[in-house]
Structure 1
Amino acid sequence: MDNHGDDFGTWVAENGAVQRSEEEWAVIAGYVRHAANKIGPALPLCLPGEPQECGRTAQQHVLAWAASLKASAHHIIETSAPSQARAAHVAGPLYQRRLTELREQR
């Protein structure tokens, strides 16, 4: 995976994220990559210090790989639902309810 979200640019102030150390971001990136790899396709070993180190931060990997995981999950919904209406419900209202629950836990 070559797409690490580099096309976003640096013109937007970015200071709203949870503050974590590079080591903490690396652990989370590893978890997200592991989850994404379980449903495929495999993501590279390119975190700082890994065999294919790409030079991007662990936080950037968390974001890029979470996007990959979200896309893979959405693809599973689309290909597994018995109808387009059911897929739309699961990807829409059901997803939004779960997201609301997660935000409230924060």
Structure 2
Amino acid sequence: MDDHGDDFSVWVGDGQPDPFAYRTEEDWAAIAGYVRHSANKLGQPLPLCLPGEPQACGRSSRQHVMAWGAELKARAQRVIEDAAPSPAHATYASGPLYQHHLATLRQPRA
């Protein structure tokens, strides 16, 4: 996978406040590893290109979290489509059901 979302700053610009500044590079590397592992379970293996790995590409762990998160989301969509007995079922699972789960995840924990 060569696409690591390098053109993202063109869309939003630089200088935006960083809501995740509390995460360290090590935190992002662990998350990237988890996301890659999950994506690998659903398709072709992603490269070992995190900082310090044999095929290091020079991008940060945080950039990998975003790029591989997008890859995981696409692979999950494909799983939904393959499992759905009809296009309507796939639309429901990837639309309203997905939005419900996302809203639940966004709620602050008590």
Structure 1 unaligned regions, length at least 5: none
Report Cα offsets for 1:27-76 as digits up to 9, x if no partner.
00000000000111210000000000000000000000000000000011
Q: Distance in 2 between matches of 1:91 and 1:29?
A: 23
Aligned residue-pair number? 106
- Please tell me the root mean square deviation across aligned C-alpha atoms, in Å: 1.4
1:100 to 98, 103, 109: 103
Q: TM-score, normalised by structure 1?
A: 0.93
Q: Percent identity?
A: 58
Q: Which amino acid in structure 2 is aligned with residue 72 of structure 1?
A: R
Q: Hey, what's the Cα distance between the residues in 1 that align with 2:41 and 2:108?
A: 26
- Is 1:26 the counterpart of 2:29? The answer is yes
Give the partner amino acid of 1:100: A
2:13 equivalent in structure 1: 12
Correspondent of 1:88 among 88, 91, 96: 91
Unaligned runs of 5+ in 2: none
1:69 to 68, 72, 92: 72
SS in 1 for 2:56: coil
Q: How does 1:40-79 map to 2 (within 5 A)?
A: 40-79=43-82
Q: Could you state the TM-score of these two structures normalised by the residue count of structure 2?
A: 0.89
Tell me how far apart the structure 1 counterparts of residues 58 and 19 of structure 2 sit (CA, whole Å).
20
